[in-house]
Structure 1
Amino acid sequence: MNEITSNDTRDIILDVTEKLIYKSGIAATGMDLLVKTAGVSRKSIYRYFTSKEALTVAALQRRDVRWMHWFQTEVNKAPSPVERLLNLFTVLKDWFASEGFRGCAFINTSGETGDPQDPVRLVAKEHKQKLLDYVCELCTEHGVHDPEALAKQLLILIDGAITVALVMGDHSAADNAQCIARTLLDLSLFKQDQLAV
């Protein structure tokens, strides 16, 4: 007979919470819905998480780790630094076309919190910082003059493409962002050449 271990129960609760929040938002994901969908008791949920906020934060932290691993793995399949930078947007386009795409979970949940110090907002900020750091690494590998400045511009393109894809239902937002990114990369290398003269 297969017994469900405590780690299994915790994982089930986190999986269900993440899916429900990503689909409908924090406010629409009540404890009754979590209990019913996860097939666990309310007492079981509170055994692992002191509050709905703590559960939400844990689910988002878990999503951050998984999403960043997936994104970096896919982007890094491109063979050269410049191709990896452009591949950021190719990978996004594939994600936009995937079943169940509902935009960025971290942007979405941030929109539900008013306080910049809210734990949910802080998880979102950490996620965006990790994404920015990764893009900055790619810019550094490419050898641009100011990798941090370019990475900040590319992050705006990434989040802009995600938002347009969700709101407008336009998967080509990734193509448009990639076109702008290509221009920024060319401009950055041109500036570097000018400084070298």
Structure 2
Amino acid sequence: MNEINSNDTRDIILDVTEKLIYKSGIAATGMDLLVKTAGVSRKSIYRYFTTKDELVVAALRRRDLRWMHWFQSAVDQAPTPSARLLALFTVLGGWFASEDFRGCAFINTSGETGDPQDPVRIVAREHKQKLLDYVLGLCTDHVSEEHGAIDPRQLAAQLLILIDGAITVALVMGDRSAADNAQCMARKLLDL
């Protein structure tokens, strides 16, 4: 009999938790469903995570790393700073068209918590800050290239609103063209 290594078990638990939460939310993802779907015992889950909250936070942190890597890698393929800012929305459009698109896991899970100090909210805020910092870097490069008088911080904040707005409209309204519309608005902000 092949024994599953402990890192594999932990990864399986995190993978299943992330998928279930992204599909149905935190409240709908009970421990019984996690045990059944992951094919591990409840004892195995609690060996790695003392509470469901701890498990959810770990799964979200893992998603943050993976999502940010994917998003940055895709956007960074554009050849110029201006093109990278527009690529933010091209990449989102591709994601919106994917079969498993269910919106932003961080916005979705934040909506399930009422307390701003809830660990899930904190992870969501950290994710959005990382996204804002990344966009700020792109804006700073754009402003340097264009020698414009645009404030990169203000531009980054505006683009983050367009990004999250597009994600929300794509999910709630089923409007897969939300990324194109947001990109059109970004062009106006960037004066392109």
Q: TM-score, normalised by structure 2?
A: 0.96
Matches of residues 30-179 of structure 1 in structure 2 within 5 Å? Answer: 30-143=30-143, 144=148, 145-179=150-184
What is the CA-CA distance between 1:2 and the residue it aligns to? 3.4
Counterpart residue number, 2:6: 6
- Alignment RMSD, CA only? 0.9
Cα distance in 2 for partners of 1:123, 1:170 equals: 27
Cα distance in 1 for partners of 2:177, 2:45 equals: 41
Cα distance in 1 for partners of 2:104, 2:165 equals: 10
Cα distance in 2 for partners of 1:157, 1:47 equals: 41
Cα distance in 1 for partners of 2:181, 2:75 equals: 18
Can you give the 5+ residue segments of structure 1 that lack an aligned partner in the other structure?
188-197
Cα distance in 2 for partners of 1:88, 1:28 equals: 31
Cα distance in 1 for partners of 2:142, 2:182 equals: 18
Count of aligned pairs = 187
* Deviating more after overlay: 178-187 vs 94-103: 178-187
What is the CA-CA distance between 1:3 and the residue it aligns to? 2.3
Q: TM-score, normalised by structure 1?
A: 0.93
What is the CA-CA distance between 1:90 and the residue it aligns to? 0.2
Q: Secondary structure at the match of 1:184?
A: helix
Q: Secondary structure at the match of 2:166?
A: helix
Cα distance in 2 for partners of 1:168, 1:115 equals: 27
Q: Does 1:182 align with 2:187?
A: yes
Q: Secondary structure at the match of 1:166?
A: helix
Counterpart residue number, 1:18: 18
Q: Secondary structure at the match of 2:191?
A: helix
Q: Secondary structure at the match of 2:20?
A: helix
Can you give the 5+ residue segments of structure 2 that lack an aligned partner in the other structure?
none
Q: Deviations over 1:102-156 (max 9, x none)?
A: 0000000000000000000000000000000000000000115311100000000
